[in-house]
Every structure is written in C-alpha cells, then in structure tokens.
Amino acid sequence: MLVRRVVESRGHDVHVCETAEDALVAHAERHFQIMVVDWMLPGIDGVEFCRRLRMNPANQDVVILMVTGQDSSEALSMVLEAGATDFMPKSLTAAHMATRIAVAEASAREKARRRVAETALSVAKAEFQTIFESIPDAVVFTDIDRRILRMNPAFASLFGYSEFEVLGRRADQVLRVVPRGRTQARFDVRVDEGVEQRGRTEWICQPKGGGELTIDALWTEVRNPRGQVSGLLGIFRDVTEHVALRARLQVADRMASMGTLAAGVAHEINNPLTFIMGNLNFLAGELAELSGPRPSPRMEELSLTIQEALEGSSRVHDIVKELRTFARGSDDQEIGPVDVAAVMESTLSMAKNHIKHKAQVSKDYQSVAAVHADPGKLGQVFLNLVVNAAQALPDGQLDQHWIRLGIRQVASEVLISVADTGPGISPDAQSHIFDPFYTTKPVGEGTGLGLAICHSIVNQMGGEIVLESELGKGTCFTVRLPASSPEAPAARPGT
C-alpha cells in the first residue's frame, strides 16, 4: 500500500496484481513501463518473473524495481542478472522510495527516447537501403585504404562481380582500368584534412566477363562528423553507347562539311580540267597530222606523253564526277518503278571490259517486283559493285574465278547480290568499308568514295546494303530494296 501511495502521488496510474502470473497477463494487455515487483510471491517468484519477462525482446525497455529485504551482494547480483533494473529495500521510507521511483521514471523516459530513436534509425536505414539499391548508377563505398565496404546491385550488374567477391578487396584490384590517353585512375586521391578531393574521369574498364566498357567515374571523399576523411564514394556510369554515338556524330559532322567542300572543289576543278582535256586532245590530233604515217621516235615519245596526260586528266575527271555525286543531295533523284534485272543487264554492258579477262559471269535472276528507285543511281550502285568485284580478281585466270549475280524477292523486299571468288576482305577492313575515302586498293587506284556513295544511295531509296566476306573465300554485297508492289513480273527466258 505504501508503494502504491507513493507511485500514485507522482501522477501514475497503478495496477496491482496478486501473483506474477496475473502480472504477465496484465502486461500483455497493457504493456507497463515501470514495474515494482516483490521478490517473494506465491507461485512464480520475482526473480523468475524477471527472467520470463525479459525473454520477450519487446519487454527490454520495461523498468523493473525489485523489492527485497535481502541485502547480500550475491542476492542483489542474482536479481540484476535476472533482468531487474534496480532494487528497493523494504526498509525505505516514503521519501527514499519516491527518490527510487523518480530514478525509475528517468530510466523509463530514456528507454522510451532510445526506442523512438532506434525506430527512426531503423526506418532511415531501410529507406537508405531502398534508395541505395535503386540507384541506376554503380555505387561503391571504400574505407580510407580503398577497401570496398559496400556496393549496390547496379555495381554488381555493371562489372559482373557478386558482393562476396569484392567486399574487403581494394578497388583497384576489382576495377581493372585501362588508362585512356593521359587519363589515370583516381585511386590515388590525396587525403588532406579540411580539403575535399574530387576526381571525375572517363575510363576503359574490363568487367569480369571480359570485353571493355567506357565508364564515367566520379570519386569523392566521405567525411565523418568531425570532418575527417573516413573513405571514398565511387559512382560509375556506363557511357559506352554514348561515346560511340558521339564518335558517329563527329564523323557525320565532318562528312557534312566534307560534302560541302567536295561540291566546291569539284566545281573549281571541273572548269579548268575541261580546258586542259580539250587542249590535250587538240595537241594529240595536231601531233598526229604533223607526224605523218611514219612518225619519228621523238614524235612517238611526244604522242605517248600527251596520251599519258590525257589518261591522267581522265582520271581526275572521274574523281571530280564521284565527288559531285557524293556531294549531291537527294533532291536530284528521278524516282519511279524500276526493273532491277534490266538495270543489271545495262550495267554488265558497261562493265564488260573490266570483266572479260578476269572472270566468268553467272546469273540467277528470279521473277521479282519492280522497286521504287532512281534508275540512274541504281545503275551507279550496280556498276560500282560489279567493277569492284572484277578489280578484286587477278588477271589471266578467267577459268578459275566467277562473278555471280543474283536477283530474288523475299516477302516485300527485292534482294540483289554481287558475289566474287576473290581474296575476300579482312574483318578490320569490313568495319570501315562504307566509310568515305576508305579503300583497300593500292595507292592511286581508288578514291574510297564508291562504296560510300552506294551506301548513301541505297539508304535514300529506303533499303540497305550488306557485306559478307571471308578471307580466301570471296566477297558478296547484297542490296535490299523495298518492292514497289507485291506482284512480281514473269521470269525472263534464259536468265
């Protein structure tokens, strides 16, 4: 009754239980913050009551005062080990008892405050974990010795490592960086007190599975509440596609400038070239008349010189023509239904002199629909492909080499193929074969514009041109064009 009076005088609601069993049931219903428990109880005693109460983690914040008449150190140690917060001798006066209750109240408030803080911390940790795992960029934390402490799933996905494989290892052992130019990996970030160090670089990294990735990497220092550097935070983004796109845009920009330049150069060269070729032809004719039927060796040498000059001028004229074609836009096209077989036959007539001493020609023309195209430009594509096939073959081996021409229709596409039995194209060259000014021919024999022009023309017609080649087994270019109608004409006899 004394305890009850003292507790109620401090503004608390008091619930009195006769036995420890009753107290456990009542606590399950109401969850008391402070308990004053007599050691000597019927049934379960106070010490066992403490043990059973503390078995539930939810009861760790309950303040328990054990009332006992024992004062030996052994008895008091047993009480505290059982889970009591403090003890209260039965001989205390009301004033001393109030003091003990006040201490218990302070302890209960501290436990409640700590519980709220722990709950808030737990929620914050869960939120941080969710955010950390949801970041699309690869993130890694290291200690001051650059040993990895934590990584997010994006890091594992990007570099191919599991958490088990990287935790505790140095970052430079996991991130296999290939220096790019003068750029170096910022694993040697200087740690200066009071000075924040940041490093952003672009790396070529080798992930666990092989290959290479271009990575935009940002390193920054992590500081503790005292401002001391405690580690590093690394953020990595895969920019491989971005870098490739940037390179393609740079090439496109250069080619746009080159097209403008080519048009101007072609125009400036063409005018004086016309006069040069005209004068050379005039000189050749006059020299032939002056030489008579039996020209002297000196006159023959002059005629040969003029002829070589004419051949060189003709070569320059062809280059100028290709430059003008390369620079010309798509507005000059004469679009209409085109019979691809007729265009191919016309092409063979023009390319006959290039082919006749190098290869036999086989044709496999199936019945196909017309294509919506410019016949002149389509003939230019076919001529370039046929002449290239012939030039890839050696002279004097007519019976050993073939140029095979194929025309067929697959669904709504017409496929035109030009294949040769030449030496083939290396894999390195194949990746550049459609680049302007790139050529596999010897110096002076190719401008590198032919296939680039073909590629541009076919793209303008809504199609594509595909290369298949293997060293030692030949090359095949296939032009795929959309059919202007699904119906195909009857096959030509003899094709």
pLDDT over threshold 50, residue 492: no
Report percent pLDDT > 90 for the chain. Answer: 8
Q: What is the distance between the alpha carbons of residues 366 and 362, in angstroms, rounded to a whole number?
A: 13
Residue 487 falls inside a structural domain: no
The residue to which tokens 């550097």 are assigned: 229
Residue 112 falls inside a structural domain: yes
Residue 306 falls inside a structural domain: yes
| Amino acid 495: pLDDT | 42
CATH number at residue 227: 3.30.450.20
- Regarding whether 92 and 6 lie in a shared domain, the answer is yes
- 3-class DSSP state of 70: coil
Residue 202 falls inside a structural domain: yes
* Amino acid making up residue 403: I
Of 33-37, 170-174, 430-434, 466-470, the range with the lowest mean pLDDT is: 430-434
- Reported as a single tens digit per residue, the pLDDT across 37-78 is 998 888 888 889 999 998 988 888 889 988 888 777 888 888
CATH number at residue 22: 3.40.50.2300
| Amino acid 448: pLDDT | 59
Domain that residue 151 falls in: 135-238
Query: Distance between the two ends of the chain, CA-based, in angstroms?
Result: 120
| Amino acid 478: pLDDT | 94
Residue 70 falls inside a structural domain: yes
Of the candidates 265, 157, 144, which has an alpha carbon nearest to the alpha carbon of residue 209? 157
Residue 493 falls inside a structural domain: no
Burial of residue 205, with CB atoms counted within 10 A of its CB: 0-12 exposed, 13-18 middle, 19 or more buried: buried
- 3-class DSSP state of 225: coil
| Token output for 381 | 């594509």
Of 301-310, 393-402, 403-412, 481-490, the range with the lowest mean pLDDT is: 481-490
| Token output for 340 | 């691809």
CATH number at residue 253: 1.10.287.130
- Regarding whether 126 and 7 lie in a shared domain, the answer is yes
| Amino acid 254: pLDDT | 67
pLDDT over threshold 60, residue 447: no
| Token output for 62 | 């309950």
Residue by residue, DSSP assigns 55-83 as TSGGGTT-EEEEEES---HHHHHHHHHHT
| Amino acid 178: pLDDT | 64
Q: In what order do the strands lie in the sheet with 198-206?
A: 148-151, 138-143, 229-238, 213-223, 198-206, 176-178
| Amino acid 480: pLDDT | 92
| Amino acid 481: pLDDT | 92
- Regarding whether 127 and 90 lie in a shared domain, the answer is yes
- Reported as a single tens digit per residue, the pLDDT across 219-238 is 888 888 888 888 888 888 88
Range with top average pLDDT, 215-229, 400-414, 439-453? 400-414
Q: Residue 85 in contact with residue 104, Cβ under 8 Å?
A: yes
- Regarding whether 467 and 348 lie in a shared domain, the answer is yes
Q: How far is CA 64 from the centre of its chain?
A: 61
Q: How far is CA 297 from the centre of its chain?
A: 69
- Regarding whether 99 and 82 lie in a shared domain, the answer is yes
- Regarding whether 345 and 265 lie in a shared domain, the answer is no
Residue 489 falls inside a structural domain: no
* Amino acid making up residue 440: T
| Amino acid 493: pLDDT | 39
Which comes out higher in pLDDT, residue 9 or 318? 9
- Regarding whether 267 and 167 lie in a shared domain, the answer is no
Q: Residue 155 in contact with residue 149, Cβ under 8 Å?
A: no
Last residue within a domain, chosen from 328, 349, 376? 328
* Cα angle value 450/454/455 (rounded, 5°): 120
| Token output for 363 | 């044709």
Crossing angle (nearest 10°) for helices 240-291 and 297-327? 150
CATH number at residue 463: 3.30.565.10
- Regarding whether 360 and 314 lie in a shared domain, the answer is no
Of 68-77, 112-121, 321-330, 332-341, the range with the lowest mean pLDDT is: 321-330
| Amino acid 191: pLDDT | 41
- Regarding whether 70 and 12 lie in a shared domain, the answer is yes
Q: What is the distance between the alpha carbons of residues 19 and 35, in angstroms, rounded to a whole number?
A: 13
Residue by residue, DSSP assigns 445-487 as S--S-HHHHHHHHHHHTT-EEEEEEETTTEEEEEEEEEBSSS-
Query: How many Å is the Cα radius of gyration of the chain?
Result: 45
Q: What is the distance between the alpha carbons of residues 154 and 152, in angstroms, rounded to a whole number?
A: 5
- Regarding whether 99 and 49 lie in a shared domain, the answer is yes
Per-residue b or e along 246-265, where b marks 16 or more CB atoms closer than 10 Å to that residue's CB: eeeeeeeeebeebbeebbeb
- Regarding whether 439 and 375 lie in a shared domain, the answer is yes
Range with top average pLDDT, 100-104, 316-320, 374-378? 100-104
| Token output for 468 | 């298949």
Of 391-395, 461-465, 490-494, the range with the lowest mean pLDDT is: 490-494
Domain count, the chain: 4
Q: What is the distance between the alpha carbons of residues 489 and 369, in angstroms, rounded to a whole number?
A: 6
Last residue within a domain, chosen from 238, 258, 284? 238
Per-residue b or e along 459-486, where b marks 16 or more CB atoms closer than 10 Å to that residue's CB: eebebebebebeeeebbbbbbbbebbee
User: What is the pTM (predicted TM-score) of this model?
Assistant: 0.43
Question: What are the phi and psi torsion angles at 191 (to 5°)?
Answer: -105, 105
pLDDT band at 104 (very low <50, low <70, confident <90, very high): confident
| Token output for 333 | 């096209």
Last residue within a domain, chosen from 238, 262, 289? 238
The neighbour count for residue 223, using CB atoms within 10 Å, is: 14
- Regarding whether 302 and 349 lie in a shared domain, the answer is no
Residue 488 falls inside a structural domain: no
Q: How far is CA 99 from the centre of its chain?
A: 69
